[in-house]
Structure 1
Amino acid sequence: MRLPPRTADALVAGLVLLLVAVWTLVSGWHTHESAPRAALGWALVLVGCGALAFRRRWPVAVAVVTLLACVAYYPLSEQDGPLMIAFALALYTTAAEGRFAAAAALAAVTLLAVGLGEARQAPGHRQIDETALAMLAGWLISLVAVGRAQRTRTAYLHEVEQRALAAEREQEARARQSATEERLRIARELHDVLGHTVSLVNVQSGAALHRLAKRPDPESALTTATEALTAVRATSKDALRELRATLGVLRGADEAAPTAPPASGLALLGELTARARAAGLDVRTRVTGTPVPLPPPVDLAAYRIVQESLTNVTRHSAASAVTVTLDWEPESGTVRLRIADDGGNPQPPPDGHDGGGTSADTGTSADTEGTQASADADTDTDTSADTRASAGSGVRGMAERARALGGTLTAGPADGGFVVDARLPTTLTPQEGTHA
């Protein structure tokens, strides 16, 4: 247990007082002096030793007080006790507390005063010879030097402690940042996986209910229900597959980074567009340039961007047609993804007919019925393209994915519809691959 500084100083002062008192009593056992001189000597001992209780608060003042007590004590007292110990400790403390110039000055004054005092003594009456004076000079210099060394050591240990605390705080900050980034990554992954599939299930079931309400005959109803349940089953199966893959990554968080292709990627783009078609969208895919193998993080990000874009179309618009374009650009080392929809009619047809002009233009009335029905049923979504550009976490999540890989993504209204335009690098640095 470490004592408080003031308590420690008081304890040291008491021990020094005890040592000086015992030594004085033992050495002066056979010495006789008058009571006033004895009382004055003991008073000087109390003052010199008691001042040590304040040696770290006022080091220079305490050193001066102990020195003056010694100057008065030794000529007056017959006991000749070791009161010099108090001055030695005070001189050391002065240097250790960073008052090196004051400590050196006090040591020089002490040595000069002792030398002059002995020089004025008559021959044969000197108390200190040249050898003792040289030893005193060595002791004084040693006390100042040791105090200075202690000061340097204390400053070094303090700096090391501060550096260790700073490194610990930095490590904690990095750990919090890593945990935050990982939490956001997991949230984005689950949003993309569950948001897309649940939206498709909602659209498919809504379309089925809408058709059943308009075609009550048993044979047509059975066909419609079968088609809807088949689509829902396929969609939910894909959702479970991707969810298991995501949870598998979380369970293996302490393992090495996987090098195998991700569970989802552009290789599954056909299945993704097929599910969107089953929900009532007319999805067309265009590929320009020569495809190249993508790093797993880029491949997954490209898939998620297309997936989230199609989800936004089914949830937040009445569009009936979507074009997914993959443009491989070997000169710039990027792949460009462009997902554009036709906007559709943001409001339900006033006459209650299926699809209105949109279905007549595209020739896919049955599919548009389902899309329009799900749009009618979803009262929490905004079908405005402008609102899609500024609201929700989907677009923001896609942009974060692209930026994490060193790419870019823009999204907004264009040509009466909504366009998501992303550019992703076809190669990654190790740092980008880790952050992704």
Structure 2
Amino acid sequence: MDEQRGHGYGGPPWARGAPGGPPWPLRWADREPGDRLPWRSTLLLAVFVMVGSGFAARNQPDRESLDALGRALLLLGSALLLLRHRHPVPVVFATAAVTLVYFGAGYAYGPVFLLVAVACFAAVVQGHRRAAWWALGLLWAGHLLIAHWLYPHLPPDGDSVAPWGQEIPVFGFVVAILAASELVRVRREQWAAQRAERAAAERRRADEERLRIARELHDVLAHSISVINVQAGVGLALLDTDPEQARTALTTIKAASKEALGEVRQVLQTLRAPGEAPRTPAPGLDRLPELVEQAAAAGLTVRTSTEGEPVPLPPGTDLAAFRIVQEALTNVVRHSGSRTARVVIGYPPGRGRVELRVDDDGPATGDDAGGSGNGLAGMRERATALGGTIEARTRPDGGFRVRAVLPLRPKETP
């Protein structure tokens, strides 16, 4: 039997009994019961019922001795239990019928009750509680008929009416079977719900990680390729008339591509070696001068200023702030006719947040410059993930403004 069939749903490692997973009941409940015939447990049960019924017959001399017919009925009831996982409803009614025939033939009371108990247990656990209740109810009704009304016409000879008091333990036995079965059924449903919740959480974490990596790659590549695109155009235009300026453009392209390759390599390291610390620190606002230089290489003059007293930013907030400014400047290079931009980093006193503002004077050029169109969405996702906000809109004077507010303490992940 392959691993997926042997453990049900083919879920994550913790649901397949991997080290560090949940205790054995969950792994047992995760198995597909219909995949194998439970011959080991059935064989042990058959031996116990046969031996126990032999002892019961010797201790109840007023009942019929256990002959070939009686043993055949016990074996038949035990053999039916081999199919209790695949066909629980027919098995529970068949075992109840075999047990009723066994009692009607006058054989001794004993472990034969166990056959019905196991069949009912299997039916209830698999969700067929109504069938189990009906089977037990019919068995009990048949027992009442045999013990109190039909006994003169059935073996053993000279049998007398059974006292009504003996029905109390029979009733208790029925209730115990149903209660135990319902308890296991409820626990299995709880285990299944836990598995589903943990699998959903694993999928959410995987989706969030993929989204994070996609944002990082987009921001790295979009900025660097925009610089490369602009400089490549400059180099082509000046290749014949001004070779020295074309050489400068090619040098800028080389530097931008090298930096992009380094940042992409850093992002991909998290995929190849999850859990390991990165070899280089994640970028932050301390690298803002590098963005200014790269924008200048693309023909964009960037003026930066700081409002308030700078405070250290948490790593996640620092990275998000850097990427938002980077993407905003990339959009200016791509989509704006302005060749100047202003970046303001604000630290409002006592507010517990950092404010970013990137302005250009426009107007929009109307072309996409090869962009993916995911820049603004990526900025919003970064801000929202930290519990912050972001606005990106056209100013009344025709320019464009990106304004982000990021808390210094990111929101707790539920």
Give aligned-pair identity as a percent: 41
Note closer, same or farther for the CA distance 1:68–1:422 as it changes in structure 2 (3 Å cut).
Answer: same
Check if 1:243 corresponds to 2:264.
yes
- Name the counterpart of 2:234: 207
TM-score by length of 1: 0.63
Distance in structure 1 (CA, Å) of the matches to 2:357 and 2:305: 10
Distance in structure 2 (CA, Å) of the matches to 1:21 and 1:339: 94
Higher-Rg member (1/2):
1
Distance in structure 2 (CA, Å) of the matches to 1:209 and 1:67: 102
* Contact 2:232/2:249 (<8 A) preserved: yes
Distance in structure 2 (CA, Å) of the matches to 1:298 and 1:316: 26
Question: Which structure would you say has the larger RCO, counting Cα contacts within 8 Å and 6 or more residues apart?
Answer: 1
TM-score by length of 2: 0.66
Given residue 206 of structure 2, which amino acid in structure 1 is its aligned partner? A
Residues 357-407 of structure 1, C-alpha deviations (whole Å, 9 max, x = no match): xxxxxxxxxxxxxxxxxx7xx7656xxxxxxxxx92101110111111121
- Name the counterpart of 2:215: 188
SS of equivalent residue, structure 1 residue 335: strand
User: 1:14-413, aligned counterparts within 5 Å?
Assistant: 14=98, 17=101, 21=105, 23=107, 56-57=133-134, 59-60=136-137, 63-76=140-153, 79-80=156-157, 133=163, 137=165, 139-212=166-239, 216-217=240-241, 221-255=242-276, 262-344=281-363, 346=365, 392-413=373-394
* Contact 2:305/2:344 (<8 A) preserved: yes
Distance in structure 2 (CA, Å) of the matches to 1:62 and 1:295: 70
* Contact 1:320/1:344 (<8 A) preserved: no
- Name the counterpart of 2:24: none
SS of equivalent residue, structure 1 residue 292: coil
Residues 411-436 of structure 1, C-alpha deviations (whole Å, 9 max, x = no match): 0101311100011123346x36xx9x
Residues 281-327 of structure 1, C-alpha deviations (whole Å, 9 max, x = no match): 11111112221111111111111011101111111222211011111
* Contact 2:335/2:369 (<8 A) preserved: no
How far residue 236 of structure 1 moved from its aligned partner, in angstroms, is 1.0
Note closer, same or farther for the CA distance 1:262–1:301 as it changes in structure 2 (3 Å cut).
Answer: farther
* Contact 1:318/1:345 (<8 A) preserved: yes
Number of residues of Structure 1 aligned to a counterpart in Structure 2? 307
How far residue 343 of structure 1 moved from its aligned partner, in angstroms, is 0.3
* Between structures 1 and 2, the one with greater helix share: 1
Unpaired runs of at least 5, structure 2: 1-36, 38-82, 109-130
Distance in structure 2 (CA, Å) of the matches to 1:71 and 1:237: 95
Note closer, same or farther for the CA distance 1:288–1:76 as it changes in structure 2 (3 Å cut).
Answer: closer
Given residue 211 of structure 2, which amino acid in structure 1 is its aligned partner? L
Distance in structure 2 (CA, Å) of the matches to 1:81 and 1:301: 92
* Contact 1:23/1:81 (<8 A) preserved: no
How big is the alpha-carbon RMSD for the aligned residues of Structure 1 and Structure 2? 3.0
Distance in structure 1 (CA, Å) of the matches to 2:155 and 2:258: 105
* Contact 1:20/1:81 (<8 A) preserved: no
Given residue 175 of structure 2, which amino acid in structure 1 is its aligned partner? R
Distance in structure 1 (CA, Å) of the matches to 2:401 and 2:361: 9
Check if 1:10 corresponds to 2:94.
yes
Unpaired runs of at least 5, structure 1: 25-53, 83-126, 348-374, 382-390
